[in-house]
Amino acid sequence: MDKYIEQCEELSLTARMAVALKVFQIYCKNRGIENQLVTDFFAYLWKWPLIDGSDQFEPWEQSRTYLVNFGLGDPANDEIETLLSEHGIEEYEFRDIVSSVVEILWGSFWGACEDELSLQALACVINRCKVENPPSLTPFKFSRFSDMSGWGNKITTLDCEYWKGCV
């Protein structure tokens, strides 16, 4: 996995978040985790690549889902505790993954882009999820950290849909 993570260094924060979502999606599928909280988390974060400007950012950020807030440190609610218990997953493990997905973006929202921090967060997702076949990085390589101060060039709705469908 070290070579895979090394290849992620050139990816923008947006592309890193997309890769983390794909890896987390595989993790959830492999463990049979199906829950509205998880569905809402994915739907919310997949809106990020299409946010363009503060007039869209503020309403999006203010509509954070439960798992985003959980990833930012809110306590586990009964629903998540039950879900994790049913699947034999320790809360600290799940929180570490969710927090790392969230940190890729939130660590840079109110300051300069955190290249190393976001890469460490992505590495944590990849290593914690232990997926045997992580998603191909090829579709994400056009969104580079060297573009737009680390955020990568804006992508289209079609690009975002393509990213969501990648395996």
And the tokens for 115?
A: 């290249």
Distance CA 159, CA 117 (A): 25
Distance CA 25, CA 29 (A): 6
Q: What is the DSSP string of 71-103?
A: HTTPPP-HHHHHHHHHTT--HHHHHHHHHHHHH
Q: What tens digit of pLDDT does each residue of 27-84 get? A: 999 999 999 999 999 999 999 999 998 899 999 999 999 999 999 999 999 999 999 9
Q: What confidence score (pLDDT) does residue 27 get?
A: 97
**Model's pTM, two decimal places?**
0.96
Helices and strands, counts by H and E, the chain: 9, 0
Q: What tens digit of pLDDT does each residue of 92-106 get? A: 999 999 999 999 999
With H, G, I as helix, E, B as strand and everything else as coil, classify residue 130.
Answer: coil
**Residues 21, 131: contact at Cβ < 8 Å?**
no
